[in-house]
């Protein structure tokens, strides 16, 4: 089956307007956290520096407005019964949850705690080591209260230290940080592991569905969509990351199994 992958260069607040109502089956969003400082903290014992990305710096009211706008647009383009997954840290996840709870016709099904067993140490030694991210799974219900959940696939295809194969999957997932083998086409400061996207995509979509990522970054969502026979749309506002996505998808498409994938870059 041929799959299509569209990478759109630009600000998602603008570019989402071009996507028709109810045309997307699944949204995965990994938006700005608003945790960056103009100058990140470093530590003499490691090369790690805390976030200092310009796309991740907002004023308080500006951040709320931004989150409300992109979430509303994503629910507009989502089909009835479609799912929206958003990931974040304590810096943004409560605000995102508050906004989602207040949107009409939207139901939160689960929140997932992603535990990272090899998380970075805490540089200040003035608080606990952050070793989780949080995901919200919400569905656009309409009147029929139906959503896609591939229950058997979740039991058979999700496995980790606390989720044995063949059993119901819990809402705590153990997945290590993105390994270097997944960064061979170039670096991105907040690249998600393939395994995280694989779990979301197999749970809430079928082959041939269309998946949207409004904050595509290094293109993990597009890549996993391609690997699993889904179509994808990624929006990214930094040119260098659009180039990275293109490189990553072309490399994957050239591999034996994915000759059928068509990649379109829209500037
Ligand atoms: C947290 S990262 C996403 C990382 C991605 N999940 C991955 O696995 O590589 C957020 C990305 O959104 C982009 N971004 C930030 N604001 C944006 C906006 N308004 N429109 C489109 N992209 C944006 C940033 O450049 C950054 O690459």
User: What gap in Å lies between CA 146 and CA 142, rounded to an integer?
Assistant: 8
Higher-pLDDT residue of 58, 96: 96
pLDDT at 258 over 60: no
The SS3 of residue 4 is strand
Q: Residue 127 has what pLDDT?
A: 94
The pLDDT assigned to 50 comes to 63
The SS3 assignment for 67 reads: helix
Per-domain boundaries in the chain: 3-266
- 189-228 in b/e form (b: 16+ CB < 10 A) is ebbbbbbbbbbbbbbbbeeebbbbbbbbbbbbbbbbbbbb
Pocket test for ligand 1, best of 217, 233, 248 (most atoms within 8 A of CB): 217
Q: Is 215 in the pocket of ligand 1 (CB under 6 A)?
A: yes
**7 beta partners:** 234, 265
Helical spans, DSSP H, in 102-208: 151-157, 194-204
Q: How confident is the model at residue 51 (pLDDT cuts 50, 70, 90)?
A: low
Per-residue pLDDT band at 73 (split at 50, 70, 90): very high
> pLDDT tens for residues 79-138?
999 999 999 999 999 999 999 999 999 999 999 999 999 999 998 899 999 999 999 999
Pocket test for ligand 1, best of 190, 215, 220 (most atoms within 8 A of CB): 215
Could you tell me which residues are beta bridge partners of residue 106?
140
Q: Report in angstroms the alpha-carbon separations of 205 from 25, 58, 84, 156, 212.
A: 7, 33, 11, 16, 12
When the pLDDT of each residue in the chain is averaged and rounded to a whole number, the result is 92
Q: So what's the pLDDT on residue 54?
A: 81
Q: What is the mean pLDDT of residues 232-248?
A: 97
The CATH architecture that domain 3-266 belongs to is: 3-Layer(aba) Sandwich (3.40)
pLDDT in tens, 151-197: 999 999 999 999 999 999 999 999 999 999 999 999 999 999 999 99
């Amino acid at each position: 089956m041929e799959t299509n992958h569209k990478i759109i260069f630009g600000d998602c607040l603008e570019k989402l307007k071009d996507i028709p109502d109810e045309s997307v089956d699944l949204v995965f969003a990994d938006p700005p956290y608003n945790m960056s400082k103009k100058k990140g903290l470093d530590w003499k014992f490691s090369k790690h520096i805390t976030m200092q990305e310009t796309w991740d710096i907002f004023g308080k009211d500006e951040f709320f407005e931004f989150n409300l706008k992109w979430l509303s647009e994503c629910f507009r383009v989502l089909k009835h019964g479609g799912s929206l997954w958003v990931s974040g840290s304590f810096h943004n996840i409560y605000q995102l949850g508050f906004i989602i709870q207040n949107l009409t016709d939207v139901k939160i099904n689960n929140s997932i705690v992603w535990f990272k067993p090899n998380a970075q140490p805490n540089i200040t030694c003035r608080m606990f080591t952050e070793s989780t991210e949080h995901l919200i799974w919400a569905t656009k219900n309409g009147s029929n209260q139906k959503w896609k959940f591939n229950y058997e696939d979740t039991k058979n295809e999700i496995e980790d230290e606390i989720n044995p194969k063949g059993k119901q999957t819990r809402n705590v997932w153990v997945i290590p940080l993105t390994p270097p083998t997944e960064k061979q086409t170039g670096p991105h400061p907040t690249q998600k592991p393939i395994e995280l996207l694989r779990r979301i995509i197999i749970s809430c979509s079928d082959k041939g569905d269309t998946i949207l990522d409004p904050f595509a970054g290094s293109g993990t969502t597009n890549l996993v969509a391609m690997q699993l026979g889904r179509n994808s749309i990624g929006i990214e506002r930094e040119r260098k990351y659009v180039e990275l996505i293109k490189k990553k998808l072309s490399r994957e498409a050239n591999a034996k199994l994915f000759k059928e994938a068509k990649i379109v870059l829209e500037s």
